[in-house]
Amino acid sequence: MSADANPPDDALEPELYSFASAQADVAETPLVALDLIALIAWHETGGLRLIELLKRSQAILVKIPSETWYGPIKAIIDRERTGAVVFEGKRKADKRPNDAFVGETLQDGRSVVGIAVDPAQLPPLLVSAADAEFVIAAPSPALVRRAIAGFYRKRCPKVTAADIAGLDLIEIAAAMRPGATPQSSLQRLRRVSARKATPGLVEDTPLLDELSGYGEAKEWCVDLVATLDAARAGTVSYGEIESGIFFGPPGTGKTLLARSLARTARITFVPTSVPDWFARKNGHLGDVVQQIDEVFARALAQAPSVLFFDEIDALPDRAVADARSRDFWSSVISTLLTRIDGCRAARRGVVLLAATNHLGHLDEALKRPGRFDRKLHIPPPDSEGLAAILRAHLKGDLAGVDLAPLARLMPGATGADVTAIVKAARRLARSTGRPLDVGDLRRAILPADGRSEAERHHVAIHEAGHAAVALAIGCEVAQVSIRGHGRAGGATDLVIPQVATLADIERRVIVLLAGRAANRNGGALPDTGATSDLSEATRLLAAAQSSFGLHGGLVVRSSPEAALSLVARDPALAETIDARLQILMQRAETLVAQEWPLIEAIADVLLRQQVVDREQLATMANRNSRKVDEQGCPATPSAATVRL
């Protein structure tokens, strides 16, 4: 019979009088529910053998599921009067017995017992010299059924893993009350488990099948829920559960996906973050370590559960950490790695999830399989996903309206952006005392532009020049926009290969120069609006020569990021780069002249709706957005998007 299987009804009467020396005490004083559950777990772990060992001057390690088990387990050992010294490995203990005391106790012929959730909280000698180790598992459905039957001296209905998911010893015991029945106790357990599984999430957290987008990350979560269900049913081990890191731009719904996973799986969601560890107390190393210990203990006590680390990139990579803080951070990260290893080794059903906006900033030890097994990218949703997110946030409003045209006005938007847009649209409707309409959403998506028409037209021609020339030479454009951000009046998002040749870099420079060329072709004089384009074009050509070994020699003279500074210090290099810029500018001007009708068409649409997405651009250019000529720069699986 598996550990989680419920025993037959004739096996439900627990053995309450197992210890000869304690029989009279137990018979005269019925055990409270807490002690009864602990006693059954003690028996299942092999408690009788442990008592025999304690009579022979032994060092024994007893691992418990949570700190609530200390008292009941210590009481069982003390009741046997073996003379053993019991050490409690509690995180909050002010003073811990040292190795010398452990050694002296053993030399005196007495046994020592260490009880701990985490053996690291016990004296090292006790752990290393342990003659035997006993692991008391969290109560299984079969154990809980047996305890309820024993407490009431009546048969108990079948108990499932879902009935007690996330409940600790004290919560299970609290459901067993004098004068009640096994059925009422089981109902209490189910209610408490349901409340703990998704505290505060029921109202606002969608199930996985209600989420739109997320791609591979959502598929992985669905598979993970199936694995959790199988583990609770006893058909697979909890050791089969993978861990994962969600990474991607801010606002893409990484935390929402983790919460949805927990709700769908009906398990406890335990959120934490690095800033939380510092905010709770003074931020001293001991305080931070204690916070890490406590969150893991909480997740294990409520297992199966989701332990979610938000903003995990707040932990620095030890390889590049500042020398003054390296020792501190090394201790924090080493503690976290140790707790992760222990949590995974416990196989209790704790799903470890983390979220980061910058996967490359994480310490390599965190990213290796065995700690966080999968790295799952969560990009901004496509237009179909945005329409679905809009529909979900509208909560029944505008039910008959096609939201696809509105979604196409938001390329690159995230779930967080959509939330803000719907709230803004509702405010607009409330301000005029009427129901929400499509116009409110459109105004929230396309806020008023305070620039003059001449300024907007100048920016539209500039961005259209970037986009049209990129399409002409076979590059892929994700979107083009005249929405101002920072000092930029607009933006064109170009999809580029992450590994580039010299020809790829020169094509990118041509696209950068095409904005200035378009303004000149439209009759405008050169102005300061193309400064950032010229700076990036110069840097790219300098990096090709001084960083990548793609033009001239192979000596690396600077990093790609510092190539522009090298140009400022090297007049000969500056002269070489300027000559190449002039040649590529002529190529850009030629392409702009050839593509002028398309540039004007893109600019007209930009003036009407501020943004044009990939599909609209492809339609306007009368070509498939994936079609590339022999000189093109197609997007590949390893492509990245850069903003011009």
| Catalytic (active-site) positions | 463
Helical axes 326-346 vs 285-301, angle rounded to 10°: 10
**H or E element, residue 611:** strand 611-613
Of 344, 316, 162, 108, which Cα lies nearest the Cα of 241? Answer: 344
Q: With b meaning 16 or more CB within 10 Å and e meaning fewer, what string describes 352-390?
A: bbbbbeebeebbeebbeeebbbebbebbbbbbebbbbbb
Where are the alpha helices (H) located in 347-490, listed in sequence order?
Answer: 364-367, 383-394, 404-407, 415-431, 438-445, 453-472
Of 197, 312, 314, which Cα lies nearest the Cα of 260? Answer: 197
SS3 assignment, position 638? coil
SS (H, E, C) 298-329: HHHHCCCEEEEEECHHHCCCCCCCCCCCHHHH
Query: How many residues can be counted in the chain?
Result: 644
DSSP string, 245-293: EEE-STTS-HHHHHHHHHHHHT-EEEEEEHHHHHHSS---HHHHHHHHH
Helical axes 47-54 vs 33-45, angle rounded to 10°: 80
How many other C-beta atoms lie within 10 A of the C-beta of residue 59? 23
How many other C-beta atoms lie within 10 A of the C-beta of residue 278? 16
Amino acid at 479: Q
Distance CA 219, CA 108 (A): 60
